[in-house]
A and B are shown apart, each in its own frame.
Chain A
Amino acid sequence: MGQESTASLEITSMGVDNRKLGVWVWLGSEAVFFSALIIVYIVMRNNSVSGPFPRETLNVSLTAVNTFILICSSLTMVTALSAIQSGSQRGLWRWLVVTMALGLAFLTGQVIEFTSLAHQGLSLSSNLFGGTFFTLTGFHGAHVLIGVIWIGFVVARALRGGYTPSNHLMVELAGLYWHFVDLVWIIIFTIVYLI
């Protein structure tokens, strides 16, 4: 059912690929989605009637390392794209696999942080801080997980030689999503952990 994109050119009146434009419009809407989650966090996190409270529970150091890991994964993702643009099949799938590994490392870090917070009594229903924190970071983590799975599919196709220097849109689109998820984390980390 359905066919994978072929190498034939889709000439559109604006000269851009519709799928790429579609992904950018979607990322614009995701920006509003995460903004709404962020503002809920900002408005509510300090209004908790009872603890646990942010300052004493959040592990800034661990999460700073996690942030660094995600930034690394953006570098490896763009390196993978660069590899296929230069025709390196090996470079493509290897750097994609590294990106996935870094993504999984980030998720592991998040699980460690969430578990630690849970042990301190923080949960979705414990108080406003817990509810807003877990909703915001939980949805971000879900986006990372989906990204890892998506890149997995790209790797599978890359291993079959499915991408060439003139036909690798899906690699680029997966990259756009991945960088966006990193971008959102940059904002979340600053607002939740540092301020």
Chain B
Amino acid sequence: MPQFVWQMLITAFLMVFAIPSLTVDAILLFLQRNFGAVFFSAAQGGSVLLWQHLFWFFGHPEVYILILPAFGIISEIIPTFSKKPIFGYAALVYAGIAIGFLGFTVWAHHMFAVGMSPLADAVFSLDSMIIAVPTSIKIFNWIATLWGGKLNLKAPLLFAAGFIALFIIGGFSGISLATVPIDFQVEDTFFVVGHFHYVLFGGTVFALFGGFYYWLPKITGRLLSEKLARWHFGLMFVGMNLTYFPMYILGLSGMPRRVFTYSMAQGWGTLNLISTIGAFTIATSVLIFLINFFTSQRKGEKAGNDPWDGQSLEWTVSSPPPAYNFAHIPVVSSRRPFWDQKYPPAGGQPAARVEVEKSNGERFSKGSFYPIIVALGLFIAAFGMIFSFWVVLPGVAVVFYGIIGWFREHF
């Protein structure tokens, strides 16, 4: 399977097993707030810590839910733009599985300073450091893929390279935070904010933009302007660092999180100003992206099937793809099916014959109303939870109707 698909599979399992903890947490809080339950009232013997444990049991896998798809995108972009196979395909999959599993064992590193025993702190600290190992394996594999490759320095690769650099910086601050004595000092300061923005913005968001530049031509049929893309990348990279690097320094010098103001006497003014300038720079870069997107839809160059000399099967079909995607489900026997078909290994047979034909339309999904019905039901239920409980019931009924209909619908 393509790397992206593997990472999405792992992400799916993380979601299935982490979210129920949040569900219970939310139910308990809902009951406490609206029905007088005392789960979290210390005076009644309750425990605020219990809420935190259940939350972070979800919350830590959640951040891996946020980053694993990004890892998958990077693993698709880098081989294509290095014109080489991904280095260590199997290791990347196993590392992803390891990250997924270990991600469930580290949650209380968000709670080092709440008063758990030193033993508990130590266990979670150790686990949080161990998880750096599979993550690093992935980073080494991406670098090894680039090494010796014939680099096609287009926007997707720029964002992928930016991802690697920024994610590494974020990861290092993560290791610092996993070290309990350091965490005690910087807990609830801007150091933490700097850390997670480097991994989430420098990580996930950069990977997403890389994915946009990589796959939007396939989706829309039009290439995006490479010139505007470079402006986007340059400004976003500079802006991102201007915005978030000062936060590390601010955190170390004591600026707290979740406090909306501070006095000038603290001396944090200059770095915050730099941060703000960075934020506006990011905004400008995003504006450039939006301009790029909208103008390219109207006058962009046609992408054709395979603008990047790709390795995977999506590049065998037209851009945009037909509604049925593939006329016949391809049979694959190579990790780079399209590449091996275009450039058969010397003396060998092509690994998969992928024929692009018209389908007789028999097998493809005709679309369904059920997803939007579920969304509508969720909206009604959520509205009810906030404003009027009786509205929750019809909302839930609509959700049930939608989910059941969706499940029973035949392709």
Contacts and interface: CB of A to CB of B under 8 A. Distances in A.
**Does A associate with B in a complex?**
yes
A128 B46 contact: yes
A107 B39 CA distance: 26
A156 to B, nearest CB: 14
A1 B50 contact: no
A13 B289 CA distance: 39
B37 A124 contact: yes
Contact of A2 (B23, B45, B57, B409): B409
Contacts of A132: 39
B20 interface: yes
Contact of B17 (A19, A28, A47, A128): A28
Interface stretch (A35-43, A72-80, A82-90, A108-116): A35-43
B132 interface: no
B260 interface: no
- Chain A interface bracket (under 10, 10 to 19, 20 to 34, 35 or more): 20 to 34
Contact of A125 (B37, B45, B54): B37
Nearest to B370: A2
Interface string B1-36: 000000000000000111111011101100100011
B47 interface: yes
Given A2-B408, A47-B46, A127-B44, A40 B20 contact: no
Interface stretch (A3-11, A56-64, A97-105, A177-185): A3-11
A29 B19 contact: yes
Contacts of A22: 407
B17 A2 contact: no
A3 B406 CA distance: 10
A5 B47 contact: no
A49 interface: yes
A48 B37 contact: no
A131 interface: yes
A4 B410 contact: yes
B100 to A, nearest CB: 14
Interface string B102-119: 000000000000000000
Contacts of B50: 40, 43-44
Contact of B39 (A5, A19, A128, A139): A128
Given A32-B18, A36-B20, A131-B37, 6 more contacts: A2-B410, A3-B408, A40-B28, A40-B50, A49-B44, A131-B39
Interface of A: 1-6, 10, 19, 22, 25-26, 28-30, 32-33, 36-37, 40, 43-44, 47-49, 124-125, 127-128, 131-132, 135, 139
